[in-house]
Amino acid sequence: MDRKMNRRDFVVGGAMAGVAATLPGSLQALELAPRGPAVIVRSAVKPLVISAANGMRSRDAAGKSAVEKAYEMIVGGSDVLDALIAGVNIIELDPKDTSVGYGGLPNADGVVQLDSSCMHGPLKRAGGVAAIEGVKTPSQVARAVMNETDNHLLVGAGAQDFARRLGFEILPDLNTPESRRLWLEWKRRTDSEHYPDPKTRATVGMQVGLQMVREGLIEAEHYYGTINCDGINARGDICGVTTTSGLAFKIPGRTGDSPILGAGLYVDNDIGAAGSTGRGEANLYNLASFLIVENMRRGMTPKDAGLDALRRIKANTIEKRLLNSRGNPNFYLNFYALNKRGEYAGLSMYPARFAVCDERGSRLEDTVPLLTGSATD
């Protein structure tokens, strides 16, 4: 026996029939057919490039900065990593920049040793070089390690030999007159003692270098000179690159965070990217770029993910030689983070700026600092 129709069934059924009657035949069938689960289609991401502040300083022959060059290539359809590396090449090749590539501040022996790493989100690949000499663009060698080998990191003479075999120009000296002048000034002010004293763990070399920063001879950001550059295209493909001449007047062979995956750079194409500039040892101890990406995986915004990493670094900084008069870290450390939705942030231990390029153009924006004042307060 048919079920009796109550008033509610009658009203709903009548309403549906009335709607269906106004639709074309094919739409009627579609509208009244059984429905499956709703599918949410992600809208396109707006392309974006972020970097350390020096991504806005050097210019190529066409007058474009690193972030502008990378953004232009990304929106033009280039591979994201290729675009980012083309961007940072502008700085690596700029003899006036003493923080990256050609003319970067040398080590304690007056030799320019460079580090770099890159990560390709969609391809799940990475490559890096450390303490490489004679090559102006270590970011390109890092990409070659990624594409041409089964390894993630080559160092020292082995990295240089690899670059030579692939046809990279090897120069006998990457110093410029400016980088050599600054090294000579540093040598005049210090002796050859670069290892921490067992009691105080303070070095004359570091003290003199920071004094040169305070006197304006070396920019504070260039003392730990580095550029990290990360980008995303309209498909949501994420890549990143970090390149540096490292700590000014460092112990020969010293390698910081820049070429180490998870420290100077980390990319997960499903989540986002993070990279760093500043005191590499503080970042290495905490693997903070990896931490930031994992924080974003757990749902944090780029801002909150980066501030959480900075809090951990502050908590782990306990040696007196690394603390200022307020008991806070006496060094600078910045992070640059973006997620899969194209949201981004610059985070820092103390107030700083970072470079951004998107549909609104290129600009410097203020970071979100963990602490007020400066590292030397």
Q: Which of 99, 131, 98, 134 is nearest to 117 (CA)?
A: 131
What is the Cα–Cα distance from 48 to 80, expressed in whole angstroms?
10
The DSSP call for residue 329 is B
Helix ranges, the chain (H): 7-21, 25-32, 66-75, 80-92, 138-148, 156-165, 177-189, 204-214, 220-223, 280-286, 288-297, 302-316
Cβ neighbours around 350 below 10 Å, total: 22
Which residues, including other chains, have CB under 8 Å from residue 46's CB and lie 6 or more apart? 234, 342, 358, 359
Q: Which of 190, 200, 203, 317 is catalytic?
A: 203
Single-letter residue type at 183:
W
Report how far residue 39's alpha carbon sits from residue 239's, in angstroms, rounded to the nearest whole number: 28
Instruction: Please indicate whether residue 200 is annotated as part of the active site.
Output: no
User: Hey, which residues are catalytic here?
Assistant: 203
